[in-house]
Chains A and B, each alone.
Chain A
């Protein structure tokens, strides 16, 4: 029997809100993250990812509250990433109820933190997130800060090193595809998945069910992170709660428009589709 594929809703967080951008920029406010998280949990999410994409220090407390509220009612693994710089930062989010953490900038600046964190909290707790941008010459380089900061690191080398340092999983995000709905970067995912022996989570670009199938079959992904495709489906059928602060760009939500770039689906539809195609996954009856 083949391995069970994990479907992981990814929720990008800014301040108190769930947001979604394109290429990790141009953020729209989509509502209260916990409302989405609860729905995804109830409909069969295999794990959840909260990514604090602004990760400014003064907003740390609101993230902590969110993790705590979520962990109390959601009994699947919760990964938290964004702005975690030190072992103490990692300990703080784990104490608040996260099961795993996602490191990008901190790991690139000091790969030793992967080893220290893996030793302290266990390898399986540490996911190294790689944000890749394809260069004109076809090479993929790793970036930090939502694809804004150039590092010069070649992604394949970096993924292998991260594994050596003790990362438990790799999340590979194609910044080029992120939020576009054009599909995962299958070639990039495959490259990484075949080079490391730890699980690889593909992220960025899912716009329809076929994209998910493709990154599993050809990209060899062990898990897939999905955002827009799920979020826009939720919006279609639910009344979205917004924090009254009205912080950020809420125009999209208020317009009642659909997001044209993705053919949205819910978790049950995604899993039924994968099962029919012969990919085992945990499905709720």
Chain B
């Protein structure tokens, strides 16, 4: 048992040619995860945790997923109950569909849609889209300061700033999966979700300084505990 415990948890960062994976990889290494950038299906399925990052267009991403034959392996991995993290486009892809340049089907793992920010405020002035920059994330249930306990956001300040780059956001059908909310101009949107073994962020924890690294550390702990529980079964 002891020997196994010493082994770092193995995490697969899925490479489907949709973004620069350097900072995700580095954040994982920084918090003691053994990270591998890969599109190898058997490796993904054997990993202790999987990260689906992504930047760019929803339609292209789904196309690439098909090309790399990754759709079913991702669903199979999630079905094992092992920790899964989606980042940015990697969060949006989990939804049923997106309205980006027409309607695209998503992985359909979480019920809901992906919609675009409005381009004008109610007074007619321009809203800069994409949202690029730091914005605050809030507890879904504001009054409950413990709302983030045992999640990847544990010990973060309610209202902590995170780094965002996006034009679209998710609208889950079931409110209970919403982990945090964020306001951009006049829109309040879901900036992170947690649903069983899935955690997903619209923002980039790997670019959100020390507090972002805290999220990776929390998630690494979740992966470690999950791995230990599996070994003890």
Give A residues with C-beta under 8 Å from B: 1, 3-6, 41, 46, 71-72, 75-77, 94-97, 99, 121-125, 168-169, 194, 197-199, 222-223, 281-282
Q: Is the CB of A71 within 8 A of B119?
A: no
- When the two chains form their complex, are residues A76 and B126 in contact, meaning their CB atoms are under 8 A apart? no
Determine if B26 and A71 form an interchain contact, defined as CB atoms under 8 angstroms apart: yes
Q: Are B134 and A75 in contact (CB under 8 A)?
A: no
CB pair B165–A282 under 8 Å, yes or no, is no
Residue B22 contacts which of A1, A97, A198 (CB distance < 8 angstroms)?
A: A97
Q: Which chain B residues have a beta carbon within 8 Å of chain A's beta carbons?
A: 19-20, 22-23, 26-27, 30, 55-56, 119, 126-130, 132-135, 161, 163, 165, 183-185, 206-210, 212-213
Residue among A41, A75, A121, A123 having the largest count of chain B Cβ atoms under 10 Å: A75
A75 to B28, CA, bound (A): 12
Using CB atoms, name the residue of chain B closest to A1.
Answer: B183
- The secondary structure that dominates the A interface is loop
Query: For the complex, what is the distance from the CA of A41 to the CA of B26, rounded to whole Å?
Result: 16
Interface pair A94/B208, CB less than 8 Å apart: no
- A169 vs B132: C-alpha distance in the bound complex, in angstroms? 9
If the complex has contacts A1-B183, A76-B163, A124-B55, are A95 and B133 also in contact, measured as CB distance less than 8 A? no
Provided the pairs A125-B55, A222-B132 are in contact, do residues A76 and B22 lie with their beta carbons within 8 angstroms? no
Instruction: Check A94–B133 contact: CB distance below 8 A.
Output: no
Chain A residue nearest in CB terms to B20:
A94
Contacts of A97 in B (CB 8 A): 22-23, 26
**8 A-B interface contacts by CB (under 8 A):** A3-B184, A4-B134, A75-B27, A77-B163, A97-B26, A124-B55, A197-B128, A199-B128
Q: Which residues of the other chain, B, contact A282 by a CB distance below 8 angstroms?
A: 134, 161
